[in-house]
Amino acid sequence: MVDALSGFPEWLPEQELVQQRVLDVVREQFELHGFAPIRTRSVERVEDLLSQGETDKEIYGLHRLAAEGADEQGGRGLALHYDLTVPFARYVAEHRGQLAFPFRRYQIQPAWRGERPQLGRYREFLQADADIIGSGKLDVRHDGDLVRLLRGTLDRLPVPKVKLLVNNRKVLEGFYRGLGIEDVTGTLRLVDKLPKIGAPKLTELLGRGGLRQEQVEACLALSRLELHGAGDVERVRALGVKHELLDKGLEELGQLLTASADGAAPGSIVGALHIARGFDYYTGTVVEGVLEDHPELGSVCSGGRYDNLAAMGSGQPLPGVGVSIGITRLLAYCFHLGLLQQKRRSPAHVFVAVHSEPERGLSDAVAARLRARGTACVVSDSSAAYGKQIKAADQLGIPYVWFPAQADKPDLVKDLRSGEQVTALLDEWAPAADAMGLCFTKAEKT
Amino acid sequence: MVDALSGFPEWLPEQELVQQRVLDVVREQFELHGFAPIRTRSVERVEDLLSQGETDKEIYGLHRLAAEGADEQGGRGLALHYDLTVPFARYVAEHRGQLAFPFRRYQIQPAWRGERPQLGRYREFLQADADIIGSGKLDVRHDGDLVRLLRGTLDRLPVPKVKLLVNNRKVLEGFYRGLGIEDVTGTLRLVDKLPKIGAPKLTELLGRGGLRQEQVEACLALSRLELHGAGDVERVRALGVKHELLDKGLEELGQLLTASADGAAPGSIVGALHIARGFDYYTGTVVEGVLEDHPELGSVCSGGRYDNLAAMGSGQPLPGVGVSIGITRLLAYCFHLGLLQQKRRSPAHVFVAVHSEPERGLSDAVAARLRARGTACVVSDSSAAYGKQIKAADQLGIPYVWFPAQADKPDLVKDLRSGEQVTALLDEWAPAADAMGLCFTKAEKT
């Protein structure tokens, strides 16, 4: 008996076909916007991972099993990356002379974190990231481009509606500084937890953190604001806090709300002043997305502006902005909630039946000709009664069964969805458009 | 300064675009033949990896950096997989009740080995595998199906010609047993090295391994044979060795040569009696491919029949046969040899110029309409003189530059390959078919 490993999810073929569809849409959107694919190695030097202030993430280090006194190259000093942003920044710093800036890249790879596993929180998970990194400077309009790209990509996925929440770290930091709060990072991190812990608990924690009553109240007032357009930034100003960084942040946030609204459904991108994101490297725009009907499950995508991250070892600043879709988490939620069930367990559209073992060659020939015309198919493993073969096709969720011509009969094709059986010409027949994709039985896309 | 890590190769965007093309072709072929995608976790239990007799492979174990006394779930006892076959077998054993057999899957993922890095030998590398696993039994005709699939896939890749060498472990084992050799595994492993070490060295090593002079000579005679069709198996029989297992192996090898020859160019699949493959789990057919013009570089793909591997913990045998393409190695060779160079560094077909910053909105609108019609594009980051923008497009290898209409001028498109500039209608224009793909400057596909 083999047990599953907690925190390392694996999908069944019918689920992986859904994941593949999701990844295809993501890739198509990223490429339509000119993002080039890259893959970074799975390992980074431990000091590069720790230098980003992520000492509180559980990192998996490597060691060689077989080696005595293994050197650094042998694994010691290396660890699996916990996201795709830090490796990307290192990649840019390392290959800087060979890249054209601004550099747009996308990257679809797993990442690893030694966290306590729970629904949506895994030790190995697939991420799909798109980032732009500039050389020296990167206009803030790219923040809007990335949020729009994220919005447009999510809208095309076969998943439930995702609501995007945007904010700007400068707004939070400027607001806190304007209030005279010294521990800005600590306050950011607490406020970011508002949806999980609720206002009373947040009040208690902020107070315990040393904030005065009026500071706590101002923080809570800010964190509760939702902005539905650039004009709404005045609601932040109305709280009466003044700081240069706050003004800068509100200008950027207003610009982002205007830019990202272009083409987006009303209410699908909302300013949410409690959003801070966990990573220390964000310096401006931050964004996260939650399932509209299940916000309690937490974020399924995220991103933001990082102006200092990519400077890593390279001297000159390489400011960037990026977004990341948590593919594994998003799919885990959909599967868990009973969405995205589908019947297809094979990419084949046609199951070619075999009349008898001596006639298997006829079936192989049919399959070869269908494939030559781009139709995916499998030949039956068995030459049992046709009823049994039809059952095998149905088990795989394959929509068509092909019965090769025999002396007294033409080629026949049975559509297992309708039960209809028709005569077919091998060089003309093609599957119906609606049989080509997956067969979702329930995809609550509203 | 950031140093590259030896053994962990990373491609530049222009190389990754080639890799992506290669992976797309591989995936298309695997899916046309009805193989379903799966992804297994990157880690396995150490004992599962070691139980396959691969103690001589350098395996990377995991440990949690942050955790004191981490438990097994925390990383201890887990290691990165060194191939995709063992994880697949474990996956099948684990999810057996939810899979339909024979189960055809493909899997494109990295694997890790702590080996000494050299050209083509890496510590992290991408593999593309296709396997069929049966329940209880799996007809030997699937061996031919897999070799044909491998042949057809390689023929469609933009890489130099690959020659496939096939053999059958039963032939070798039966032959050695028929000769009275006791250390069959040791002999297999030495003979497999023939192309690398040459006949004199092999003779010496076999003798040192305790084989008698006539046994050494017979082994060498067998290992030198090349079979160009099923009829050639008689040349093995002519060596005069008799054993039941040898007969069984020759029958299977003859059947494989007949089946896999269907549709393959003459000489592209050859019986090579020295091929044994390193993994202990192969029990019948073995196959490997080498670059025809550079056989000295070693195999770029491989595979074989394994009748006992998947039984792992599950009681009942799950015999399988599979093939694996070493994507990283294949591309490393091509890049190293100067093949597969290409200019595209962006998936965008169109670079939309910006006349001036106040007019950037016009360019954004052009890009949005091109994307809506499926044409990938980027908008210029700069509104500098058009000459500079054209240079930026050329640097990215993007074939077209679009100049948005202005009051006195229509939309204009410049083809950077020909230098030709034409008037274009936004809702009709499409890139030429030959500009859609990569622009190989040298692809020695002969």
| Cβ distance of B2 and A32 shorter than 8 Å | no
Q: Which two tokens stand for residue A128?
A: 């799909």
Q: Give CA–CA dist A245/B3, Å, rounded.
A: 37
Q: A75 falls in which pLDDT band (50, 70, 90)?
A: low
Bridge partners, B7 (sequence order): none
Contacts of B367 (CB under 8 A, 6+ apart): B350, B352, B377, B378, B379
At B415-430, the pLDDT tens digits run 999 999 999 999 999 9
Q: A68 falls in which pLDDT band (50, 70, 90)?
A: very low
- At residue A277, the pLDDT reads 87
Q: Which residues of chain B does A39 touch, with a Cβ-Cβ cutoff of 8 Å? A: 10-11, 16, 19, 126
Q: Say which DSSP state B409 is in.
A: B
Q: Which two tokens stand for residue A73?
A: 């190259």
Q: Which residues of chain B does A13 touch, with a Cβ-Cβ cutoff of 8 Å? A: 36-38, 99, 105
| Cβ distance of B13 and A99 shorter than 8 Å | yes
In this structure, the number of other CB atoms found within 10 A of the CB of residue A189 comes to 17
The mean pLDDT value for B279-292 works out to 92
Q: From the CA of B392, how many Å to the nearest CA of chain A?
A: 8
Q: Give CA–CA dist B373/A268, Å, rounded.
A: 24
Bridge partners, A104 (sequence order): A132
The mean pLDDT value for A104-114 works out to 96
Per-residue CA distances from A430 to A7, A369, A370, A415, B266 (Å): 42, 12, 9, 12, 32
Q: Which residues of chain A does B8 touch, with a Cβ-Cβ cutoff of 8 Å? A: 41, 43
The mean pLDDT value for B51-70 works out to 69
Please, what is the average pLDDT of chain B?
Answer: 90
Q: Give CA–CA dist A275/A277, Å, rounded.
A: 6
Tell which wins on pLDDT, A446 or B175. B175
pTM beyond 0.90: yes
Domains located in chain B, CATH noted: 13-42+81-341 (3.30.930.10), 350-442 (3.40.50.800)
| Cβ distance of A34 and B377 shorter than 8 Å | yes
ipTM score: 0.93
A361 touches chain B (CB under 8 A): no
Q: Are A264 and A151 in contact (CB under 8 A)?
A: yes
The mean pLDDT value for A35-56 works out to 84
Q: B12 falls in which pLDDT band (50, 70, 90)?
A: very high
Q: Give CA–CA dist A20/A353, Å, rounded.
A: 27
Q: Which residues of chain B does A126 touch, with a Cβ-Cβ cutoff of 8 Å? A: 39
Nearest by CB to residue A65, choosing from B79, B371, B376, is B79
% of chain A residues with pLDDT over 70 = 92
Q: Which helix (H) or strand (E) holds B169?
A: helix B169-178
Does residue B435 surpass a pLDDT of 90? no
Nearest by CB to residue A43, choosing from B4, B8, B348, is B8
Q: Which of A41, A54, A80, A260 to mutate to test the interface with B (most CBs of B within 10 A)?
A: A41
Does residue A425 surpass a pLDDT of 60? yes
Nearest by CB to residue B2, choosing from A2, A90, A395, is A90
A194 touches chain B (CB under 8 A): no
Contacts of B34 (CB under 8 A, 6+ apart): A346, A347, A348, A376, A377, A378, B104
Does residue A439 surpass a pLDDT of 70? no
Q: Are B254 and B273 in contact (CB under 8 A)?
A: no
- At residue B1, the pLDDT reads 34
Q: From the CA of A74, how many Å to the nearest CA of chain B?
A: 6
At A364-382, the pLDDT tens digits run 999 999 999 999 999 999 9
Does residue B340 surpass a pLDDT of 80? no
The candidate with the shortest Cα–Cα distance to B127, out of B97, B145, B142, B106, is: B106
- CA B281 vs. chain centroid, Å, equals 19
Does residue B158 surpass a pLDDT of 50? yes
